Structures are given as structure tokens and as C-alpha cells.
Structure 1
Amino acid sequence: MDDPVTFARKLRREQTLPERRFWGLVRPWREAGLHWRRQAPIGPYVVDFVCKARNLIVEIDGDTHYSEAGLAHDESRTAYLAERGHRVLRFTNSEVTQGGEGVYTVLMGVLGEPGAER
């Protein structure tokens, strides 16, 4: 695998449909000044989305995440990130692409109303 920075750049250029849709879902918070990064290196990992001001990481998981190996990898990855103070939210590709209302509702619960200080 490439170094995390090179790999992150590649992932940003080759963004998936669910990742593009999620980027649109967080737009109200981005426009309100809450900074988000896509495909950001954190330690040995590249996370899908991170809001450092809120120590929030969002992962959009495809089918490969639901094999035994994928679940074990995600568990150790989440533990690593949590040990460093991050909260990790995981959504499936279909949760994001099929409307995204549930994802938006979860984000509202975690981040509050876009533009409201929390």
C-alpha cells in the first residue's frame, strides 16, 4: 500500500457515490463553518470523513466490511481511533445512497442544528 497521504489523495480523486452523497449531507454544517476533511490520514489509517473540531469520524462501509476479516479489521481500527479520542460512526453504503434521511438524523443528534454552537 502507498503511504497514507498518497493513498488518501488517491481516494479523494476516486470518491465513491456513497461518499459523494455523504459529502452533500454534511454540506449544511460545512457552510456553517464546521470543517470536515475527506479521506484523511490518521495514524496508519485513512478515514473516510473527519470533523476534528468534534473529534468525529464517519466511515461509509461497503460490502467488504461485513466479512469476518472486514469486521475484525474495523473493530481494531475503531479501537485505535477511539483510544485517540475520536468517536466513530459507521453507515452502510445503502444507508447513505437511499435517501440519507436516517444518516442526517444521526448527524443532527451528534452535531446539532447546522450553525448552532454545541
Structure 2
Amino acid sequence: MIRYNKNLKSFSRALRKNMTDAELLIWSKIRRKQIKGLQFYRQKVIENYILDFYCPASKLVMEIDGGQHFSEEAIQKDNERDRLLLRHGLKVLRFSNTEVLINIDGVIQTIYEHC
């Protein structure tokens, strides 16, 4: 079992209540086991991070990145986070908000292929 920071639970609950348009769109396509009968969780806490979406059965993490993720500092932090998740045997898929909003079918197909 992967450890998690219990102090982040209330923050993750708040994030679930305030999802971005891109996150809401993806959630509408993956919730209720719509992809290969697999359960996905949103705003899941792992270690000291809150993951946008997580599927434990396929060991898949999906991150939906807004504009703040494209600065040099944010890219470095995201890479550090991805390395930690990889050490736990998790695959990380990253999509931009724009990609989700204009190409949801392609995003869902990519998710399906990685499951």
C-alpha cells in the first residue's frame, strides 16, 4: 500500500468540489467504470501529492495541467513528482486543459490504451 499524507485529505475533498472544466469533462467520461470496467478516483492523495485522477488496478495516474504547469519551476516540480510516482510503479499521463477541451475523444482513447 502506498503511503499518503493525511493532512491533505481535507484539501483533496475541496478540490473535488471545485474541479476545472477540463477535469469535469474527463471525469464524466471515466467515472462509474466506463473504461474497461476500471474504477478511477479523483483528487487522490499519494505520498505528499494530490493526483488529479488515479486508477489503482491499472496503476495509472492522469494529470490535467493548466497554464501554471508550463513555467520552468513547475516543470521541474512535476518531473520530481513523476519520478516519485514511477518509483511506486505508476504510469503518469499528462494532458493540458486545452487538449482535453478540444480533443476529448483522443484523450479518452489514450487513457483507454494505457489501461
TM-score (norm 2): 0.88
- How far apart in 1 are the matches of 2:114 and 2:88? 18
Corresponding position: 1:19 with 2:23: yes
- How far apart in 2 are the matches of 1:81 and 1:7? 20
What corresponds to 1:62 in structure 2? 66
Matches within 5 A, 1:1-118: 3-27=7-31, 30-31=33-34, 33-111=37-115
- TM-superposition CA deviations, 1:38-78 (whole Å, max 9, x none): 00000000000000011000000000000011100100000
- How far apart in 2 are the matches of 1:34 and 1:104? 13
* Shift in Å, 1:102: 1.6
**Gap runs ≥5 in structure 2:** 1-5
TM-score (norm 1): 0.86
State the aligned residue count. 109
**Gap runs ≥5 in structure 1:** 112-118
- How far apart in 2 are the matches of 1:102 and 1:95? 9
The CA RMSD over aligned residues, in Å, is 1.6
- How far apart in 2 are the matches of 1:35 and 1:105? 17
Percentage of matched positions with identical amino acids: 36
- How far apart in 2 are the matches of 1:108 and 1:15? 22
* Shift in Å, 1:96: 0.7
> SS where residue 57 of structure 2 aligns?
helix
